[in-house]
Structure 1
């Protein structure tokens, strides 16, 4: 590193010295958002993918843009002429190019573009932070998404309950009367209880396979991110009925994964857990608890449930996209369509999906090619 605020760095988490540089930059960042930690990003990369951070580092500021480099040769429909290309995506969560102190956005993007061209990157997708003041200006297209629920902890702890809507307040009091208690599991010792409730909830909801993270995922998360993960358990009759894994950043907690058994619903186990999370966050000096959104924004029951704990506090966020190589992007679209057609399947990119060549397959069949 140098003291030049406009120096572009590309750090690879698989290289010990570079990972150490990345971690040192993250630890120097006042906000220390967990989604930019190398250990977090590595959780979402497949074995064949690279976990990198595009950076700019100086004496009194930096830029951190964590990304996963996805080789296109891993896709069965990619032709030989595209096998050395890749695309770029942020890991799960609210990410983006974070910046603080003294930095040069123009110099960062200039270095980023040179690197992207060298690695034959076709496209870039990032889901941007709910706190845009932490981001440098994004060079590309941005589309407003959301909303997402963010509980602001600007009230004293003894006034938090009255800030919820009427139904939430009633449920919290009902859980207390029923004898539900909440355990804060900072060391994540009851991971087995969490997994039992979580997997049971996914089964009941008919969740997609992508949400069935294996136990090793959680063990890696807790091992790679010591102090950045905490479990909460709502207990009744010595049994965990509702549980939640939260990720800890300097200013906020992020509700990551959770579950509630059917037996926990009559005693309102989850509402009491939600309140306990907010109370604990205030004692830790946090400013927000990020609950996220639902499945279909404001029309979704999950979103409405979350909003009970922060009425009129929903925030929009943006996704950022860039086509870095237009001709190769179009070539991939054509190649994907031809490959699907050869197998008797109709395929066309969905309007909002990015990158379009990765859009899910439609259910419409066509006659096999001769």
Structure 2
């Protein structure tokens, strides 16, 4: 049986978090606090809850049910997109293939009954794209590093990583990992470095999270940690880590450019990795780059050269007629602005009707 609930307030998030506690894998990207602060807030946020009558298995999938607006005009249609990061459906341990297939069948029917035209799913790295009822795309490469014993791990690093870490140690860099009961001053150290980095790199304004936002997220979650690197007691590099049962995830961070020559970035990654190993984690997920095998991706790969995996997204057109009408409407808007007409076979952007610039 499938039920759909709104997740549009702090009050409703309490029920959602209660459901989330049923699952062994407490994936941090499914947290309502994560979604509220880092993935668009509570507005338009819903979640699907599927409970199998046969096996008692449970599937939970949050996402944004957004009204489709073209050229400032709201249509009668909606699209659905899962939160930023590693999300999609979350399965209870006793899930079966038939349960998964029934879940997607029920979701698709709900879409059809509620004027939902398209679905875009960001899957996690645990294989939850299997048996998806839409089209699965290998969207980009990610680094999901296997955590080995210290000797073999060190041997697997690229030579440049080992060289940089040795230099950082000679420079006298130290680190601290803050996990649970994190103090305001420890969050503030991270926030100052993070904001300076966002300003230096001209990052999109949407990444300028406030100290209060970070404090709220960190203090209300047991799945967040901060790794900070120091030079003579001065914090020079810091990163917010997300924690699951088996993994740590590199999330947001920055470095004071005055100390780049001391190689704090490489040192931070190794210190976080050592902490993860000591806490019996299996993976250190560094993610991907901004483009296909760009410089950021290659930097991450230097830590785990053999641990490249595909990051999958899912695309689904529920109502083809409505989709084509919306693309035509978007084309009229684009042509009026002097932009090129959209081609329906263009797979570089989905859904096409949202490509208005």
Q: CA deviation at 1:36?
A: 1.9
Number of the residue aligned with 2:155? 162
1:167 aligned counterpart, secondary structure: helix
Contact 1:78–1:335 (Cα < 8 Å) also in 2: no
Provide Cα deviations, 1:78-113, integer angstroms capped at 9, x if missing partner. Answer: 35xx2x321111111021122231351232122212
Q: For 1:47 and 1:32, how far apart are their aligned partners in 2? A: 20
Listed as ranges, the gaps of 5+ residues in structure 1 are: 1-6, 362-370
Number of the residue aligned with 2:238? 243
Q: 1:16 to 1:303 in 2, by over 3 A?
A: closer
Q: CA deviation at 1:18?
A: 5.7
Q: For 2:342 and 2:183, how far apart are their aligned partners in 1? A: 44
1:97 aligns with 2:89: yes
Number of the residue aligned with 1:30? 24
Contact 1:96–1:129 (Cα < 8 Å) also in 2: yes
Q: CA deviation at 1:175?
A: 0.6
1:201 aligns with 2:197: yes
| Selected match of 1:178 from 171, 180, 190 | 171
Contact 1:197–1:261 (Cα < 8 Å) also in 2: yes
Q: 1:45 to 1:129 in 2, by over 3 A?
A: closer
1:65 aligns with 2:61: yes
Number of the residue aligned with 1:259? 254
Map 1:1-370 → 2, pairs under 5 A = 7-14=1-8, 19-44=13-38, 46=40, 49-58=43-52, 60-73=56-69, 76-78=71-73, 82=75, 84-100=76-92, 101-103=94-96, 104-132=99-127, 134=128, 137-153=131-147, 155-186=148-179, 187=182, 189=184, 190-224=186-220, 226-298=221-293, 300-346=294-340, 348=342, 351-359=347-355, 361=357
Q: CA deviation at 1:241?
A: 1.2
Q: 1:201 to 1:171 in 2, by over 3 A?
A: same
TM-score under structure 2 length normalisation: 0.89
Q: CA deviation at 1:144?
A: 1.0
Q: CA deviation at 1:282?
A: 1.2
1:43 aligned counterpart, secondary structure: helix
Q: CA deviation at 1:135?
A: 5.1
Q: For 1:242 and 1:17, how far apart are their aligned partners in 2? A: 36
Aligned residues: 347
Q: CA deviation at 1:216?
A: 4.3
Listed as ranges, the gaps of 5+ residues in structure 2 are: none
Contact 1:125–1:319 (Cα < 8 Å) also in 2: yes
Q: CA deviation at 1:289?
A: 0.8
Q: CA RMSD in A?
A: 2.4
TM-score under structure 1 length normalisation: 0.86
Number of the residue aligned with 1:3? none
Q: For 1:319 and 1:96, how far apart are their aligned partners in 2? A: 9
Contact 1:42–1:51 (Cα < 8 Å) also in 2: no
